[in-house]
Structure 1
Amino acid sequence: MDDAKGLEDGQTSSPLLLRENPDPGSSSSATAAVILSTLVAVSGSFVFGSAVGYSSPAQTGIMDELGLSLAEYSVFGSISTVGAMLGAVASGKITDFFGRRGTMGFSQIFCLIGWLAIALSQGAWSLDLGRLSLGCGVGLLSYVVPVYIAEITPKNLRGGFTAVNQLMICCGVSIMYVIGVFINWRILAALGTIPCLIQLLGIFFIPESPRWLAKNDRWLDCERALQRLRGKNANISEEATEIRDYTETLRELAKARLLDLFQLKYAHSLIVGVGLMVLQQFGGVNGIAYYASAIFVSAGFSSRIGTIAMVIVQVPMTMLGVLLMDKSGRKPLLMISAAGTCLGCFLAGLSFLLQDLQVGKDFSPILALVGVLVFTGSFSLGVGAIPWVIMSEIFPINVKGMAGSLVTVVNWLGSWIISYSFNFLMDWSSEGTFFIFSSVSGLTVLFVAKLVPETKGRTLEEIQASMNPFTATK
């Protein structure tokens, strides 16, 4: 690919924009290049899910073979979140410097080292280092994958394609849980390297993000990548011109610094991006996901049946969310999803309340199961995926790296707070914990209704210009 850094003075369009008999309709279709690029990108999402799902089935085997105490294993399980925060802090800078493809490859080096260190571990320190390295890779992937997919897909397909990120995370968690029941923890860790290798090899066969190329003055490369993604006969002139004009407008602004994110002109985007991540995590997802077995036991229900039921509900509901994303729109789907998580937590809290009151002892365990399943299904429908989709859409390219890092760090910090404090909250009051989560989900509905824009069917440049109107001025 030509590494030209710009067009000659006076050149208004490249030969790629002057093709005869262009097919304007194909620019909005799911071409083979877009599908392949998305599949390679979401291999990283599968790695993300595998890392999350590994610790539960591996716990007994690791503790027995290596003689770890519960406290030592708790460190192993939680240290990945610390690594993810470290990766998230650096994700924006790394992605802006190395590009979207380069960052995916860079992240997989950390993931491969992590999985191999775990598989070969003979003690707690090597387990923890491996888990930390895996967390760093996952922190990078959690930012770059949705951003890359959002930047390569046509506007009418962007929501569904970006939501595949959450679907693959869900699949990674579920598959690790299922096969982990039957195989040794070392083999399970070794299997975790397979999706890492798939992405590492796959990035050599997919194009770089046209918007990242434009930001770096590689206009001819930008147009070639866009043409490849939209199809060789597609008319890319309108989309390429919009990318060029918006990039040139942003270039007239002073180079953004971290403190610049907190200026009035970025306030709406920042409030929406950070707010959605805070509400997503403080709605209790990681407390419920990480400690589902303990929740079912506390409620008097079979942990095995309850956990399997969660897996059965999770995957199809995530798939439904992917299908609905570009049909119903982000905003209504997110509100319905948040309302469902509100109801699910309320039912689970009501179950524990009935137990404390010693009322409906035969009914309350079933109510707990229903509540957790309603929460899991509703979260999978929208709250899990849509905040990441919106995060990838709302920030202008000149601050996307820093803003994306901040939003991703907030998400992982919230994840750590909830996963760490959940058991303490349950000891304080089981019903109170779930009623708090239910209240946060109810607040999410109001937050979305009042502040979150509908991004369905709009280009990234249109979304960002409407949310950050002052970025067009010098």
Structure 2
Amino acid sequence: MGINEPGKQQTSQSFLRTVMIISTFGGLLFGYDTGVINGALPYMAAEDQLNLTPLTEGIVVSSLLLGAALGSLVGGSLSDRHGRRKNIIHLALLFFFAAIGCTLAPNVEMMVACRFLLGLAVGGASVSVPTYLAEMSPMENRGRMVTQNELMIVTGQFLAFIFNAILGVTLGDNEHVWRYMLVIAAIPAIVLYFGMLRMPESPRWLVKKGKISEALQVLKRARHTEEKAVAELNEIQAAVNEEAQMEKATWKDLNTPWVRRLLFVGIGVAIASQSTGVNTIMYYGTQILKDAGFSTKAALIGNTVNGLTSVVAVSVGIWLMGKVRRRPMLLTGLAGTTSALFLIGLSSMLMAGSSLLPYIVLALTVIFLAFMQGAIGPILWLLLAEIFPLRLRGLGMGICVFFVWMTNFLIGLTFPVLLSLGLYIAFFIFVAIGIISMIFVKLCVPETKGHSLEELEHRFRNYKTSQIYKN
């Protein structure tokens, strides 16, 4: 058996790598569909296209975010009911048809409707994919696997910025260039659909549904040794059996004191992560750089620097996950983003009209994104996938991700108004929120690194005597 262990280890790693790559195409779609509007909006707003006003521009952008908020709420329950894998397969179909609908939209009403449907898919994926990865991965690799989804999200945004820049520069005179930008999203949707058809279901969900032998087969493929697979199966069964003695999970369960505390933490982290203002750069980055002094084409190219920064930063963040605890990493990220926003606001106030201002703003947004995507983004999705007990994981994470998207929606809808008041005013508001967020994390967010999901549940149940909130 000892001779075969290296081969078995390599096989399990290869299997988990395949699971991770295929499922995180949901994250790639998440990123592309939220980032592509950045470059497509100026072209679709033209009079001979959708003839958008400032109001309808905000509605087109934020309709996806509203759909994502609802999709995350419903997606969690559907994931619990039908399975993580099956839910992701259905989401892939929704991604595909909604992307085609946006591409062919003849008017504002159809565009808003299809963007809303696309948002349902984005929101559902933002819940289902991290949950699936967390439940497929072994404890020692959970952080690395779950945060791969964040890497795929920013890769999708980077690809959106790249294609926007290429198509904007080469086909900018073509009246339908924005449709070419949007239709590209259909390709990864096809890969996700056919890829997930070959993936297994989460072993934790299978045990919950009484499919013990199927769960064991999945664990044998995903763990280095059969002993580890059996030991983890026993641990999962013990947790499920303990929950089986309780009533079926309902909204009333969220009022249990220790669950309510976790829900408060999850919602707080969700709001704090989005209140940094990151998605103002993701959705209105072109407009921000234009207001700072760049031309439209230069702003499109500048956005590719932001996208590349995000990819590199998330890669570094994933590496740091194995070396740094969750809470200090989150605090460092918030300190960095808040400082960068303060400097953007200060520069905009003191250097208005300067030829150097657009370059300073671009450099500071790069610094901002390095902290945001390298520390805050990975921690957000990992914490939400870790803190809730199995019986409430889909519902609890769905509620928290709902707040991610509602915060995102409100910022996306109101940012053009804030921007009209002055770039520095908008960013100083985000600075104030960032300071409040750091205080919240310091006082309320628990440390989850180094514990299995079942061990975390036990510790959260006994949080009054546990050191998990004090580490």
Q: Are 1:402 and 2:402 counterparts?
A: no
Q: 1:241 to 1:288 in 2, by over 3 A?
A: same
Relative to the length of structure 1, the TM-score reads 0.88
Counterpart Cα distance in 2 of 1:470 and 1:337: 26
* Residues 468, 25 of structure 1: alpha-carbon distance in 2 compared, 3 angstrom cutoff: farther
Q: Name 2:231's counterpart in structure 1.
A: 238
> Which secondary structure does the structure 2 equivalent of 1:385 belong to?
helix
Structure 1 CA distance, aligned partners of 2:463 and 2:38? 48
Q: Letter of the aligned partner of 1:114 in structure 2?
A: A
Runs of at least 5 residues in structure 2 that lack an aligned partner in the other structure: 168-176, 465-471
- Match of 1:384, SS state, is helix
What whole-Å deviation, never above 9, does each CA across 1:148-177 have from its counterpart, x for those lacking one? 001111111111111111111111111112
Q: Which residue among 319, 323, 329 is the counterpart of 2:319?
A: 323
SS of the residue corresponding to residue 166 of structure 2 reads coil
Whole-Å separation in 2 of the counterparts to 1:84 and 1:366: 33
Q: CA deviation at 1:448?
A: 2.6
For 2:84, the equivalent position in structure 1 comes to 100
Q: For 1:362-401, what aligned pairs fall within 5 Å after superposition? A: 365-401=358-394
Q: Call closer, same or farther: CA 1:362–1:119 in 2, change over 3 Å.
A: closer
Give 1:176's aligned residue.
Answer: 160
Change (3 A) 1:21 1:443: farther
2:261 paired with 1:268 = yes
* 1:202-241 equivalences in 2 (<5 Å): 202-231=195-224, 233=226, 235-241=228-234
**CA RMSD after TM alignment:** 2.6
Given candidates 436, 448, 453, the residue that maps to 2:429 is: 436
1:354 corresponds to which of 347, 350, 355? 350
Distance 1:289 1:118, change over 3 A: closer
Rounded to whole Å, the distance in 2 between the matches of 1:199 and 1:141 is: 11
Q: Percent identity?
A: 28
For the residue of structure 2 that corresponds to 1:217, the secondary structure is coil
> What is the aligned partner in structure 1 of residue 336 from structure 2?
340
Partner Cα separation in structure 2 for residue 165 and residue 396 of structure 1: 21
Task: Provide the C-alpha distance between the structure 2 equivalents of 1:412 and 1:273, rounded to a whole number of angstroms.
Answer: 13
| Alignment length (residue pairs) | 450
Matches within 5 A, 1:144-159: 144-159=128-143
Deviations 1:251-278 (A, max 9, x none): 1122221132122021331122111001
* Structure 2 CA distance for aligned equivalents of residues 56 and 434 of structure 1: 19
Which of 46, 52, 73 is equivalent to 1:69?
52
Question: Judging changes above 3 Å, is the alpha-carbon distance between structure 1 residues 353 and 60 closer, same or farther for their aligned structure 2 residues?
Answer: closer
Alpha-carbon contact 2:165-2:300 (below 8 Å) kept: no
Residues 151 and 210, structure 1, Cα contact 8 Å, conserved in 2: yes
- Alpha-carbon separation, structure 2, partners of 1:150 and 1:29: 19
What's the CA shift string for 1:192-213, capped at 9, x where partnerless?
1111111111112211101111
Superposition TM-score, scaled by structure 2 size: 0.88
Q: Which residue number corresponds to residue 110 of structure 1? A: 94
Q: Deviations over 1:100-159 (max 9, x none)?
A: 000001111211110111222333333222222211111110100111001111111111
Unaligned runs of 5+ in 1: 1-18
Counterpart of 2:62 in structure 1: which amino acid?
Answer: S
Aligned-residue offset at 1:463:
1.3
1:283 equivalent to 2:257? Answer no
Q: Does 1:449 align with 2:442?
A: yes
Alignment partner, residue 308 of structure 1: 304
